[in-house]
Amino acid sequence: MVFDIDLIKYIYQHYPQKIDLIRQRIGKPLTLTEKILYAHLTPGEELKNYKRGEDYVNFAPDRVAMQDATAQMALLQLMNSGRNRVAVPSTVHCDHLIQAYKNAHDDLIIAESNNQEVYQFLRDVSNKYGIGFWKPDAGIIHQVVLENYAFPGGMMIGTDSHTPNAGGLSMIAIGVGGADAVDVMAGMPWELKMPKIIGVKLIGKLSGWVSPKDVILKLAGILTVKGATNSIIEYFGEGAQSLSATGKATICNMGAEVGATTSIFAYSKKSADYLAITGRQEVVDLANKLVDCFNPDSAVLDQPEKYYDQVIEINLSELEPYVNGPFTPDLAYPISQLATAVKEHNYPDNMEVGLIGSCTNSSYEDMMRAASVINNANQLGLTVKAKLIINPGSEQVKYTSKRDGILNHFEQAGAAIMANACGPCIGQWRRDEVADEHKNSIVTSFNRNFAKRNDGSPNTYAFVCSPEIVVALSIAGKLSFNPLTDNLINDKGQKVKLQEPSGDELPKRGFEVDDAGYVAPIADGSLVEVHIATNSERLQQLAPFSPWDGKDIISQPLLIKATGKCTTDHISMAGKWLKFRGHLDNISNNMLIGAINAFNHKSNSVLDTQTGDYIEVPALARKLKAQGIGSIVIAEENYGEGSSREHAAMEPRFLNVKAIVVKSFARIHETNLKKQGMLALTFVDKSDYDKIREDDLISITGLTDFMPEKHLTLTLHHHDGTTDSFAVAHTYNQSQIDWFKAGSALNKMKEQFNENHK
């Protein structure tokens, strides 16, 4: 079955004419990114040359995808929208709530029992609103989307930061918060600041131990975690043509780690091959007639510096494997330099666990190349010294890999085959051996490696690399091992060297699956009742946030001044907290508990100025809220980096935080804050961050004249009676100011819906 084929035919019907008109109106040759973005302007939006990085533009995405952790809050908001059916094709994927512990069979039984209430809620809401439902163990959202829904020239949004995975099939796919998803599902325009475009030219060809993952690992080292913020990365060049579709998806997936809005590759024969083998020959037949639409104009390729905001060139023939980490995905080490780094920084050289999977690297090609290294080690008389854990990307990948003997190679080496789910990548990993929090290293094929992300231990040093390198380091049991140059000692005492990995991009006998895990919604969901128990600890109906009171913010206490990296993992942890993603009150007990207090350098320990005691962050926020008092959060650069989880924005709103003031925001998180009616501000002079004292009362004035591009004023009332006052900036446009005044974007949308249906 080809999903959405009628929609794809409709979109493709007038694509060439659209592109011709866009080129005429813009008045210059077009990048691929521009073609797809401008082709998806919302009806009525003016077709003109929007300023990149400045102008807000309304778009009409073709579809929405949600994973089960973020879908809960998105669907709770959808239920408050006044709509009774989704306006665009939408899906829910149950991949986040399965904890990896023993094996796929046992873990799935436990997950279905523990999460039964949530799974039933998601299935009921899906039926009621016409949403496709993918069962637990069907696969990781982005791999399933790539196999079934992604199509060249399309545009989708997803409630997960790695939605850009679909860029491997020439689709503009952007990670968003649940409120954005509700806009699109409700048929409303979706707003985005017109992104800048970074062109990455790939020349040469991969060989040996080097994989597509190494392209993005190297790029992360070049751009850093915020170097592509408010930008789309567009890959081009002959090197790009040579990469497999799933390899391109891996690169696009991890573009989130450099802050990119999304990433994209042009349509090519590799794209067509993947679409065909996944049962979408009909899409290939249509797309092949529109190749020019799904590639940059030739003039752009001839003079890329003229049409991209930045151009970076990477020679695939000279690239070597990279290992990035620990604690941040942009600390990039070529493997030839890793051993030196291990010694210099005293990283734990003894590698305890190797993990393969996640939405980034769990394709058939990934599995086969990694298995080839295992098979070679077995032939050489080598055993795997580290524990090995495998999470296949989808039931289709798992079923086909099992048929072709790939999983057997892993199992013979003692690997644990886990469910087709995110598992350890998002902290859904019961790892008993780190209960003592001893210092240790793990190596993963995942995308992120923030402290405590995978197993909850602050002393786990997590490094990110390709599946092939994960296996090689697992065999050696040493982080400092370089399979390109180093020998190992086999069971006969002989020096042996691992062969380069090998494998097919696509299965020679095609993909096969018994039950892919898809459940279509019923034709008429109007009679479906969605039950949420009043005493549930997992689900809670949402009450609308209160509108702005029309006043400035006066003399509110500081909640926390965070120092250093403050990701969404710090603001709203995953792991054990995932079970509360549908219950705003309960999950708010994790608000900012991972953030480091600048005054005592401890986490979850902030000053209660009323008593002089240090208490937990949520406890102080709740105490102040109960007294009718708000609070202010202060932080540093790239605040909200990481996962798209909007809980990190909803929790402060729920606990009466009045404003978040930082040196800079990550894109998705800033939007999430705006959507929830929060005030998101930045220091005009970043050194003003240093002026905030622990016992300050903080005022923010100018809100009664809140307008685009006009600074507000922040005043610090120090305990000694002195004050400091300075300007703070914002990026709100008029629509976003209206969200703030209404109390949230959802409140504003419901107002408009009610007015239109009087």
Active site residues: 95-96, 160, 448, 643, 645
Q: Write out the H or E segment, with its range, that includes residue 751.
A: helix 745-756
Sequence-separated (6 or more) residues with CB below 8 Å from residue 10: none
The distance from CA 528 to its chain's CA centroid, rounded to whole angstroms, is: 32
Q: Which residue type occupies 173?
A: A
Q: What is the 3-state secondary structure (H, E, C) of 691-741?
A: HCCCCCEEEEECHHHCCCCCCEEEEEECCCCCEEEEEEECCCCHHHHHHHH
User: What are the residue ranges of helices labelled H in 500-642?
Assistant: 568-571, 584-587, 617-626
How would you class 628 by CB atoms within 10 Å of its CB: exposed for 0-12, middle for 13-18, buried for 19 or more? exposed
Cα distance between residue 660 and residue 163, in whole Å: 26
Beta-strand pair 262-265/440-444: unpaired
Buried b / exposed e along 289-327 (16+ C-beta atoms within 10 A)? ebeebbbbbeebbeebeebbebbbebebeebebbbbbbb
Give the dihedral of Cα atoms 231, 234, 239, 240; nearest 10 deg.
130
Cα distance between residue 751 and residue 724, in whole Å: 39
Task: State residue 572 phi and psi, 5-degree precision.
Answer: -145, 90
Buried b / exposed e along 707-730 (16+ C-beta atoms within 10 A)? eeeeebebbbbeeeeeeeeeebeb
In terms of Cα–Cα distance, which of 205, 227, 197 is closest to 296? Answer: 197
